[in-house]
Structure 1
């Protein structure tokens, strides 16, 4: 390996024991291996979960959970409940302020639908 310095076994063991991973010589022309950042929980400003509890609605009728004023939807989900229930859709509103859920049942004219939206400050 021309122009590269190999690490000795001691340096490799030290690097592995310290959790740093592979290291390179300073004069190496190859890019350095990416280092993992310490794991820390991500803080989301104004995090809030809004839940529309289960309610029976006609098949394919949309249920919408909205974020409070000043907040936007960053994620969400929905659940269809009932015998033979199928979740047909789960997606954000066009304006980004809420989450839509809709479902259906094969043998019945209505279905139970719950909707969840995760909100954060703008």
Structure 2
């Protein structure tokens, strides 16, 4: 005949675990509390819709520049950078940075190529009218 002791221990452990979960469920509040000052208050106003027209992609084609030299591409006057990127090209080329300009009107890319004095860098910026 098989030993039924492990099965009985497992069933008892499961029953204790379920009882513990039931106790936790009873102790937890059924609803979250709402601060008194927010009851009856008006909902916050929705943000204004931004003007996002005049989408334009501008590319600065690949060129070899000294390692770590920044290449910058700018948006036309009146437009802002809403995205961008860069690519490092060459043997073991590494893209070191790809980020917007401080004034938000362009994109910067820089890289390095171990064992060489220069690296190929191309940069692009996505521009739009933003208000």
TM-score (normalizing by structure 1): 0.64
Aligned-residue CA RMSD in angstroms?
1.2
Match of 1:64 in 2: 72
**SS of residue in 1 equivalent to 2:54:** coil
1:94 matches 2:106: no
Q: What secondary structure is seen at the aligned counterpart in 1 of 2:53? A: coil
Distance in 2, Cα, partners of 1:107 & 1:46? 42
Q: Which has the larger radius of gyration?
A: 2
Specify which of 73, 80, 83 is matched with residue 75 of structure 1. Answer: 83
Cα distance in 2 for residues equivalent to 1:88 and 1:96: 20
Distance 2:128 2:86 in 1: 18
Please, which of 54, 63, 74 is the counterpart of residue 62 of structure 2?
54
Deviation beyond 3 Å, 4+ runs, structure 1? none
User: What is the aligned length?
Assistant: 80
d(CA) in 1 for partners of 2:86 and 2:100? 11
